[in-house]
Amino acid sequence: MTDLYFKGENDITFDEMLLEETSEIEMLLGQLKMILFTNIGDVLGSINMGMSLEKLIFETNYNKFTIINILKQQIERYLVYDDKKYSVDFDLEFIQGTARDIGVLSIFINGQVALDLMIK
């Protein structure tokens, strides 16, 4: 299976010679990023796809378990991957900031940290 190569120049693993991605883990991470960085309503034909992550964290009173549950629902609905081969887990921590709190979302694939996002 292959997918288009979507990494940007700011990504530490960016390779300007690649046009497609063949690594299953990289494709899984790409799909996860697509859900995380998409606002609900932005995808034509799939208006419920996306997290609106900043809004969920800063404009609702949801706790970390509710936000992680919403993320798991998005994955069940929109991700295509071998869930017997790859387990995907999450942790969300809140850190007190000066202007507003900071959310740190960690994504684990098979128990290894695959991505850490700081939402501030």
Give me the pLDDT at residue 112, please.
95
Q: Give the pair of three-digit tokens for residue 29.
A: 């991470």
Give me the pLDDT at residue 7, please.
63
Give me the pLDDT at residue 52, please.
93
Give me the pLDDT at residue 84, please.
92
For residue 32, give the CATH number of its domain. 3.10.450
Q: In which domain, by residue range, is 54 found?
A: 3-119
Give me the pLDDT at residue 5, please.
54
Give me the pLDDT at residue 118, please.
92
The series of mean pLDDT values per 10 residues for the chain, 120 residues long, is 65 67 79 92 93 89 92 93 92 88 93 92
Q: Is 49 in contact with 78 (CB distance < 8 Å)?
A: yes
Give me the pLDDT at residue 6, please.
65
Helix 24-36 vs helix 64-78: crossing angle, to nearest 10: 120
Give me the pLDDT at residue 30, please.
85
Total of domains in the chain: 1
